[in-house]
Chains A and B, each alone.
Chain A
């Protein structure tokens, strides 16, 4: 079975600072990789997904993620945090059988 590890259940950054949320996956072959964001009292919304076309993936709201096969990582970054980025972020893997596996989530706090 696939597994997804998100290091850091809580991350705090100052407004304007770099956001880095870590995600590592276990897979013998590169799976399908996704980042989702969950705002309070809402469902999960897709931020970005990895396609084999490029290792650096750009998503919505200025977020991007880099796929590193050698490190089995898919870390999420944003150069400058905004107050509206405060949310829960989930990394997810989908296997070839169309099943999704989610990390335990990282709660991002942005300090004014």
Chain B
């Protein structure tokens, strides 16, 4: 089954404790992205990747890092999480350019206390 898999689904952590949210897709998509969803703000892009070893900042990259060492994986790293990073996070992937939709993971609800 074609899917984007995120882990964990739920995470509670303390301020400053490094964490990684994993994302994996099995559709051989070139493009992958991370979004955060906050009430009243919709989805905002954090980082995106056009292919292996090619990443770029989205609209809200501060406090986050990503890497793309393999085509299928695109982890999101919070080196020193802060309470304002409490949010619902989504990973997405899509094929190359054109009228192709994004496929989303199930989301990771992160709480930083």
Contacts and interface: CB of A to CB of B under 8 A. Distances in A.
Interface stretch (A65-73, A76-84, A97-105): A97-105
A92 to B, nearest CB: 8
Interface string B93-113: 010111101101111000000
Contacts of B45: 99-101
A100 B99 contact: no
B90 A103 contact: no
B41 interface: yes
Given A42-B107, A43-B105, 6 more contacts: A36-B104, A44-B90, A49-B99, A51-B99, A100-B92, A101-B45
Contacts of A9: 40
B91 to A, nearest CB: 9
A98 B100 CA distance: 9
A100 B91 CA distance: 13
A36 B104 CA distance: 10
A34 B92 CA distance: 15
B29 to A, nearest CB: 11
B25 interface: no
Given A42-B107, A43-B106, A98-B50, A49 B42 contact: no
12 contacts: A41-B107, A43-B90, A43-B104, A43-B107, A44-B90, A46-B101, A49-B99, A90-B42, A92-B102, A98-B96, A99-B58, A100-B33
